[in-house]
């Protein structure tokens, strides 16, 4: 399954015999690798060049020429620092919430339902069901449910949980809620993939050795499911940090909840300020790579792909 | 209170806690889907917000809402072409990675891992910056290029899992029976890989069909279905969009469930044979 992408357990299957004819390997690899070099690596390089461009003197909006404007970075970070912090703050919160919601569910489906394989796979289908319907429409559905005229706000106001002039949409709560909701399947699938294969005899051994269920969970289940936790948190954290749908005005957010993705979109597609958008993209990418690098090393799953 | 009954009730609660938690989490996941489905029957005008009565009109006249069917058609075209390209390129890479040893291996693994670790907004902005500097006009072609790019890695991971689980003895048997390399591949290896390739293709199509962020940066004036929704969100989504999304959802669920039920039935039959 693709969702174990970030931490394939070290080769369990027998390594097949090495074949000598490496020209076949070359023929198989070349088209795909060239494609990625052309449309993934080259664009990243082009993004770096764009981030140093300077405006053309007396040029139109959106006209830039090659340059070495470090200032683009200081401008971008200076102007959008709160949005950068917000993006990572929201993404971390959403990742934690998604893990808390997903883990027991993945454990139940992956471990407790083993005796009923058909029910197990049908429950898993319910987990991935959101993939089959546009995520923009799902997010808009939450917007309607949480709108001032929707079913939730009046109830919360009657219960005095929300002040009479309060809203849910447009708040950080709504954005983190939306991010959590949208990425739960990405969290649950890798957790499931690991828990489903976990040998439950280890858990029984913990109980036999008089460990409390909590201790067994902490010392046995969690370490055994670590590869799933790492893949799931990465598959949630990375897209959540770059997301700009949930935080956008037309969806669950407001100008108070804008994330760095919103700034990249606005600068690139609306303001045509390509160098600032490119600089922000590079900063986002760099921070993510640093965080992921530290995290993966800490979690001890360095065997990527 | 005596200790006995209290203890028992706690045990009973513990046994039920996990299924109840799972049920609540699943309901949570399904609420917006149910909402989208219900509101596809809303007898609404341009704005599909308040409930205005039940109607089947939106289902029978899907294309009445301006642009929605064109956007849907574009999404299908992009999804099919990008899936075919990404599946072909990715499957070849997956076979090479499992079956051959070569020097640049770890570099290639990194090249395949990075697109999955890059936020969509960076992938989208990067390609858009490149198209801009090359003076390429954005349209269906650039969307297909972008979707193929981000699907390749997912295809490689999915097919690779299948290739590494193949029993090399099957291919050896083919060679022992004097099958040529090509015959062994096309008559033995490839048919065994088909389930993995099919799963990869389905995943690619699903990723492409629902992609918005990368599309938004590289589509120019062309609308895909998600982009149509994004643009319409500012002024209100027509119920016809809910109809299309619900229909696609039902079709996908039916395919998956039928596949699972047949697989379970076959597993049962095999178990009885043994």
Q: Is the pLDDT of residue B22 over 50?
A: yes
Asked whether residue B165 is domain-assigned, the answer is yes
- Judge whether A104 and B21 are in contact, CB under 8 Å: yes
Q: How far, in Å, CA of B72 to CA of B247, rounded?
A: 12
Rounded to the nearest 5 degrees, what angle is found at the Cα of B181, between the Cα atoms of B176 and B183?
A: 85
Q: Do B98 and A16 touch (CB under 8 A)?
A: yes
User: What sign does the CA torsion over A153, A154, A160, A163 have?
Assistant: positive
Does any CB of chain A come closer than 8 Å to the CB of residue B132? yes
Q: Do B30 and A281 touch (CB under 8 A)?
A: no
Which region, left, alpha or beta, applies to residue B269 given φ > 0 means left and ψ of -120 to 50 means alpha?
alpha
Q: What is the pLDDT of residue B80?
A: 97
Residue in A27, A121, A188 with CA at minimum distance from that of residue B264? A121
Q: Do B212 and A136 touch (CB under 8 A)?
A: yes
**φ, ψ for residue A54 (rounded to 5)?**
-120, 155
Q: How far apart are the first and last CA of chain A?
A: 12
Q: How far, in Å, CA of A233 to CA of A229, rounded?
A: 6
- Lowest-pLDDT range of A124-138, A163-177, A206-220: A206-220
Asked whether residue B110 is domain-assigned, the answer is yes
Once rounded to an integer, what is the mean pLDDT over residues A174-199? 94
Q: Do A132 and B117 touch (CB under 8 A)?
A: no
Asked whether residue B253 is domain-assigned, the answer is no
Asked whether residue A65 is domain-assigned, the answer is no
Instruction: Tell me the chain B residues in contact with residue A135 when contact means C-beta distances shorter than 8 Å.
Output: 210, 212, 226
Q: Do B96 and A28 touch (CB under 8 A)?
A: yes
Asked whether residue A273 is domain-assigned, the answer is no
Residue in B28, B148, B166, B2 with CA at minimum distance from that of residue B99? B166
Asked whether residue A168 is domain-assigned, the answer is yes
Q: Is the pLDDT of residue B2 over 70?
A: no
Give me the residue label for tokens 């600032």: A276
Q: Give the CATH number for residue A130.
A: 1.10.3720.10
Tokens of B172: 């050896």
Chain B residue at shortest CA distance from A127: B26
Q: Give the CATH number for residue B184.
A: 1.10.3720.10
B167 or B206, greater pLDDT: B206
DSSP class of B50: S
Asked whether residue B59 is domain-assigned, the answer is no
CA distance, residue B114 to nearest chain A CA (Å): 9
Asked whether residue B229 is domain-assigned, the answer is yes
Chain A residue at shortest CA distance from B207: A131
B13 or A168, greater pLDDT: A168
Ranked by mean pLDDT, which of A57-66, A90-99, A125-134 comes out on top? A90-99
Once rounded to an integer, what is the mean pLDDT over residues A25-50? 94
Could you tell me what percent of chain A has a pLDDT over 70? 91
- Judge whether B143 and B222 are in contact, CB under 8 Å: yes
Q: Residue B113 burial (CB < 10 Å; 0-12/13-18/19+)?
A: middle
What is this model's ipTM? 0.87
Asked whether residue A17 is domain-assigned, the answer is no
Within 10 angstroms of residue B19's Cβ, the number of other Cβ atoms is 13
Write down the number of H helices and E strands in chain A.
13, 2
Once rounded to an integer, what is the mean pLDDT over residues B204-212? 94
Q: How far, in Å, CA of B66 to CA of B48, rounded?
A: 15
CA distance, residue A141 to nearest chain B CA (Å): 5
Coil, helix or strand for A53? coil
Q: Do A2 and B119 touch (CB under 8 A)?
A: no
Asked whether residue A196 is domain-assigned, the answer is yes
Q: How far are the Cα atoms of A56, A75, B33 from residue A269, in angstroms, in the given order?
A: 19, 18, 30
Cβ-nearest to A118 among B39, B145, B264: B264
Ranked by mean pLDDT, which of A31-45, A122-136, A285-299 comes out on top? A31-45
Asked whether residue B26 is domain-assigned, the answer is no
Cβ-nearest to A122 among B101, B121, B260: B260
Asked whether residue A231 is domain-assigned, the answer is yes
Q: pLDDT tier at B9 (50, 70, 90 boundaries)?
A: very low
Q: How far are the Cα atoms of A48, A262, B93, B230 from residue A247, in angstroms, in the given order?
A: 26, 8, 37, 13
The total number of structural domains in chain A stands at 1
- Judge whether B29 and A127 are in contact, CB under 8 Å: yes
Does any CB of chain A come closer than 8 Å to the CB of residue B107? no
Q: Is the pLDDT of residue B4 over 80?
A: no
Q: Is the pLDDT of residue B244 over 90?
A: yes
Residues 6+ apart with CB under 8 A from B132: A50, A274
- Judge whether A170 and A148 are in contact, CB under 8 Å: no
Q: What is the pLDDT of residues A38-63, one digit of tens each?
A: 999 999 999 999 999 988 888 787 78
Q: pLDDT tier at B93 (50, 70, 90 boundaries)?
A: very high
Asked whether residue B7 is domain-assigned, the answer is no
Residues 6+ apart with CB under 8 A from A261: A87, A242, A243, A244, A247, A284, B119, B121, B213
- Domain hosting A147: range is 79-265
Q: pLDDT tier at B1 (50, 70, 90 boundaries)?
A: very low
Q: What is the pLDDT of residue A204?
A: 86
Q: Is the pLDDT of residue B132 over 60?
A: yes
Residues 85-144 on A with a CB inside 8 Å of B are: 101-102, 104-105, 107-109, 112, 117-118, 121-123, 125-127, 129-142, 144
Cβ-nearest to A118 among B19, B256, B261: B261
Instruction: Tell me the chain A residues in contact with residue B112 when contact means C-beta distances shorter than 8 Å.
Output: 36, 305
The total number of structural domains in chain B stands at 1
Strand partners, A54: A65
Strand partners, A55: A64
Q: What is the pLDDT of residues B150-197, one digit of tens each?
A: 999 999 999 988 888 888 888 888 888 888 888 888 888 888 889 889
Residues 6+ apart with CB under 8 A from B274: none
Tokens of B77: 């075209």
Q: Is the pLDDT of residue A19 over 60?
A: no
Give me the residue label for tokens 């046994």: B15
Mean pLDDT (chain B) is: 88
Residues 6+ apart with CB under 8 A from B187: B174, B179
Cβ-nearest to B157 among A2, A245, A251: A2
- Lowest-pLDDT range of A89-103, A148-162, B192-206: A148-162
Q: What is the pLDDT of residue A190?
A: 92
User: What sign does the CA torsion over A57, A61, A66, A71 have?
Assistant: positive
A246 or B195, greater pLDDT: A246
- Judge whether A204 and A262 are in contact, CB under 8 Å: no
Strand partners, A64: A55
Q: pLDDT tier at A21 (50, 70, 90 boundaries)?
A: low
Residues 6+ apart with CB under 8 A from B223: B67, B70, B71, B74, B231
Asked whether residue A289 is domain-assigned, the answer is no
- Domain hosting B166: range is 66-237
Instruction: Tell me the chain A residues in contact with residue B133 when contact means C-beta distances shorter than 8 Å.
Output: 46, 49-50
Asked whether residue A27 is domain-assigned, the answer is no
Q: pLDDT tier at A1 (50, 70, 90 boundaries)?
A: very low
Q: What is the pLDDT of residue A89?
A: 96
Does any CB of chain B come closer than 8 Å to the CB of residue A270? no
Q: pLDDT tier at A78 (50, 70, 90 boundaries)?
A: very high
Instruction: Tell me the chain B residues in contact with residue A221 when contact means C-beta distances shorter than 8 Å.
Output: none
Q: What is the pLDDT of residue B117?
A: 87
Q: Do A242 and B119 touch (CB under 8 A)?
A: yes
Could you tell me what percent of chain B has a pLDDT over 90? 51
Q: What is the pLDDT of residue B175?
A: 86
Task: Count chain A–chain B contacts defined by CB atoms under 8 A.
Answer: 281
Give the distance, in angstroms, between the CA of residue A142 and the centroid of all CA atoms in the same chain. 19
Q: How far, in Å, CA of A224 to CA of B162, rounded?
A: 23
Q: How far, in Å, CA of A261 to CA of A269, rounded?
A: 12
């Amino acid at each position: 399954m693709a969702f174990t992408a970030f931490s394939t357990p070290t080769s369990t299957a027998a390594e097949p015999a090495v074949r000598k004819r490496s020209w076949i390997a070359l023929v198989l690899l070349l088209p795909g690798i060239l494609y990625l070099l052309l449309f993934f690596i080259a664009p990243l390089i082009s993004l770096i060049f764009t981030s140093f461009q300077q405006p053309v003197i007396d040029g139109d909006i959106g006209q830039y020429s090659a340059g070495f404007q470090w200032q683009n970075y200081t401008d971008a970070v200076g102007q959008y620092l709160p949005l950068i912090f917000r993006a990572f703050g929201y993404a971390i919160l959403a990742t934690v919430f998604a893990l808390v919601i997903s883990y027991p569910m993945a454990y139940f489906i992956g471990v407790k339902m083993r005796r009923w394989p058909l029910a197990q796979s049908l429950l898993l289908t319910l987990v991935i069901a959101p993939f089959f319907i546009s995520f923009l429409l799902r997010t808009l559905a939450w917007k309607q449910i949480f709108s001032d005229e929707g079913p939730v706000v009046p109830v919360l106001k009657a219960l005095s949980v929300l002040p009479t002039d309060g809203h849910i949409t447009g708040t950080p709560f709504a954005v983190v809620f939306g991010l959590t909701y949208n990425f739960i399947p990405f969290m649950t699938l890798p957790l499931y993939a690991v828990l489903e294969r976990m040998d439950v005899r280890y858990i029984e051994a913990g109980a036999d050795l008089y460990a409390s269920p909590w201790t067994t969970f902490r010392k046995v289940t969690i370490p055994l499911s670590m590869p799933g936790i790492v893949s799931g948190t990465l598959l949630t954290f990375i897209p959540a940090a770059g997301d700009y749908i949930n935080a956008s005005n037309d969806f669950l957010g407001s100008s108070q909840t804008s994330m760095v993705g919103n700034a990249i979109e606005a600068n690139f597609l609306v303001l045509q300020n390509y160098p600032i958008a490119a600089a922000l993209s590079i900063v986002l990418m760099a921070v993510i790579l640093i965080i992921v690098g530290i995290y993966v090393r800490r979690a001890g799953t360095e065997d990527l792909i | 209170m005596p200790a006995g009954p209290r203890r028992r009730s706690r045990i009973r609660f513990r046994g039920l806690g996990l299924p109840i938690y799972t049920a609540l989490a699943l309901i949570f996941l399904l609420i917006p889907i149910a909402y989208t489905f219900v509101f596809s029957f809303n007898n609404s005008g341009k704005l599909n917000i308040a409930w205005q009565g039940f109607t089947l009109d939106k289902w029978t006249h899907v294309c009445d809402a301006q642009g929605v069917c064109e956007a849907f058609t574009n999404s299908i075209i992009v999804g099919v072409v990008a899936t075919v390209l990404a599946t072909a390129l990715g499957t070849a890479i997956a076979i090479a990675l499992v079956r051959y040893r070569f020097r640049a291996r770890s570099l290639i693994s990194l090249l395949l891992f990075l697109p999955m670790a890059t936020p969509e907004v960076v992938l989208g902005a990067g390609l858009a910056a490149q198209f801009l500097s090359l003076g390429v006009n954005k349209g269906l072609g650039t969307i297909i290029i972008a979707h193929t790019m981000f699907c390749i890695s997912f295809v490689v991971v999915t097919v690779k899992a299948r290739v590494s689980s193949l029993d090399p003895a099957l291919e050896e048997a083919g060679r022992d029976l004097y099958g040529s390399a090509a015959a062994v591949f096309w008559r033995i290896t490839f048919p065994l890989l088909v389930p993995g390739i099919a799963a990869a293709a389905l995943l690619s199509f699903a990723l492409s069909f629902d992609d918005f962020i990368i599309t938004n940066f590289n589509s120019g004036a062309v609308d895909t279905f998600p982009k149509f929704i994004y643009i319409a969100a500012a002024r209100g989504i027509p119920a016809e969009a809910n109809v299309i999304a619900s229909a696609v959802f039902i079709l996908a669920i039916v395919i998956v469930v039928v596949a699972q039920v047949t697989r379970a039935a076959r597993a049962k039959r095999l178990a009885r044979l043994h």
